[in-house]
Chain A
Amino acid sequence: MPDRDTSTLHAYHGTCLRVDLTAGAATALPLPERRLRQFLGGSGLGTLLLLQENAAAADALSPEASLAFAFSPLVGSPLTTSAKFAVVCKSPLTERINDSLASSGFAIAGKKTGHDVIVLTGKAAVPSIVVIDEGHVHLEPAGDLWGLECSATQQRLQERYPGGFEFAVIGPAGENQVLYATISHDGRHAGRGGSGAVLGAKNVKAVVVRGSREIRWAHPEPLIAYARQLSKKSFGPATAKYRELGTATNLLVFNRLKALPTRNFQQGSFAGAEAIAPESLAETRSRTRAYCAACTIGCEHLYSLDNGKDRVRLEYENLFALGSLCDIRDPEVVLLASKRCDELGLDTISTGGTLAFAMECAERGFLNAPWLRFGNGESLLRAIELIAARQDLGDVLALGSRRLAEHIGHDSIRWAPQVKGLEMPGYEPRALQTMALGLAVGARGADHNRSGAYEVDFSAFVDRRQISEHTARLAAQSEDKAAIMDSLILCKFLRGVFEDFYEDAAEMLHLVSGWDVASTELQQIAARIVTAKKLFNIQAGWSPEEDTLPARMLSEPLPDDPHAQLGPAEFKDAVSAYNLWRNWTEEGWICAELRAQLDLDAFPAAGGP
């Protein structure tokens, strides 16, 4: 499509702000309408910018690395759950593409600066705050904030920058370049893959944004009417679980189905599940709900600690990673561990996964850490502090389970709970085999947000403990849907309210941008975004051997459910079928014809046939 003057765009500003931290200079670059329409925003647009920056070639923690805060066409609109942003960079943990999302005011204020994407590159000379106040960018010293935890940093920034500023910050884990450090905003985290370490390596403690540039909507009145209907639906049964109970209520279900990873994926059920389940916590602890900006669901459930004063935001993934995976049965310890991860800026899944792996290695006598044991809450809390500070054993634990396995040897990589170096979320692959494929082929590694294939496993469409002829298609379709949701961006907790997601997505995009986008075009956009991420990975050195699961999961049935078993040959066949379904080669390479078809031929795909 021809590019038009960006001043006539709806839903977008049509610019990217590129901040060179080394030079202390910023440049606004045009974003062509053709590219906006092809990648939408958020995760998709951030991936495009990284490809354009040739970011795959740079070391993730080097000054040459780029990190993008990508906003979306829906941010600032009245559509519920649309106040979200994506952080896209090369992951220091996986050395592959990483896109993590977070919510709330930073997305709204960031877009109001007048940019659709903010790219940071280079390295500040000293610990710094990047201040973006509408079109004005400057660095301020952050020496007095260095060392502060996330909420304390946020509080100090609120005092220093009153009047409409929003903040994305790192904690001590990011400063110390823990490879799974997060970026925190208002207590929520762009959590996976170590984007906090990338900021830390750039000497950036915080990014501060404010602006007044309003967005024009193509069809404002129908947009408001649509938004009202969507909000109404968001109060219905499809979101009741999130509103009333939160994601933590998954725990007892997964446990009952023997799909709850326990003791470093050595079991699928957990004897301590009842004790740490939210249903039990709610009987003994006070609970409050919280909302992201522009959200009508309010999925956040905060539980009180024993001191009665502090509250902890509790999600299923925290409960699994810091509970069952490490065999921790004391709910106070799980809550405290979650809180410490939040404050230090650590991804809870990678923290729990790395520690559970270390516990198993210590138990087997391969790691000289007699104090680190399954079920020992004190050791869990101690290890979290050591990781964030990178002290003693914490220095190698900070590298994640894959590098820890390389350090330990003894073929321990077989039971390191990771794919591409990213620790696995709380979905036992042998018990949920469509999800198993989704975890293996995910561009950012083992991932439950870029693949929602577990939904298929929780349905009558498939036998969840069998890879079927439909597995590849279902896993790919799940990824495609996530690619659109993460680029538009909408909260995935809304997904149940749409009868035909692509129809609704096309309608929303039309109302904000004015584009007449058909469902089929959106499906092609999804394919483009997923392929672009793969392209990034190929440029970063991807090989087909990466698209698999830990060897233990492909060679041993789940001990407490012998029917839950994955065979290496059938699993490899499923990966090949997935690749072919995507029009990649059987091994997963991308041919020139497909790159041309998806308008990705500006980006070379080194390697492969």
Chain B
Amino acid sequence: MNLRVEFYGIPRSRAGVSDVVLTFETPETTFGEVVSEIANQFPQFAFSCVLGDRLLPSFSANINGDRFVNDPAMVVHHGDTILLLSSDAGG
């Protein structure tokens, strides 16, 4: 399965890219596994934004522009797009 990850704000500056496509051998995976995979690919992102298979509280994730997620066990599917962003929206 393929899914797309888009980076915004600090996650983008740490990853150094605006987006990436991830490929998994299984038909579905979990949000925690996605976070771990991104952390493997982007060490600076991992250092600043990740603790284990979770994002630090200062960062958030959204699936397909619809719902925000923070549960590592949340199942994600082929074709999903995950947005990674800074939690604070104020300004």
Contact = CB atoms under 8 A, between A and B. Distances in A.
Q: Do A and B come from one complex?
A: yes
B49 A237 contact: yes
B90 A247 contact: yes
A94 to B, nearest CB: 22
B34 to A, nearest CB: 15
Nearest to B12: A279
A249 B8 contact: yes
B57 interface: yes
Given A238-B58, A459-B60, A463-B67, A252 B8 contact: yes
B44 interface: no
Interface residues of A, number: 39
Interface stretch (B21-29, B35-43, B79-87): B79-87
Contact of B57 (A241, A256, A258, A496): A496
Contacts of B66: 563
B1 interface: no
A454 B48 CA distance: 24
Q: Interface of chain A, helix or strand or loop or mixed?
A: helix
Given A252-B8, A279-B12, A460-B69, A493 B90 contact: yes
A253 B10 contact: no
Contacts of B59: 237
A244 B13 contact: yes
Contact of A247 (B8, B65, B85, B91): B91
B55 to A, nearest CB: 10
Contacts of B70: 459-460
Contact of A253 (B8, B13, B48, B67): B8
Contact of B88 (A241, A257, A464): A241
Interface string A238-272: 10111011111110111011100000000000000
Given A458-B87, A460-B69, A493-B88, A256 B58 contact: no
Nearest to A248: B91
Contacts of A464: 67-68
Contacts of A242: 88
B33 interface: no
Given A253-B86, A256-B65, A563-B66, 4 more contacts: A240-B58, A252-B8, A315-B91, A460-B70
Interface of A: 236-238, 240-242, 244-250, 252-254, 256-258, 279, 315-317, 426, 448, 452, 454-455, 457-460, 463-464, 492-493, 495-496, 563
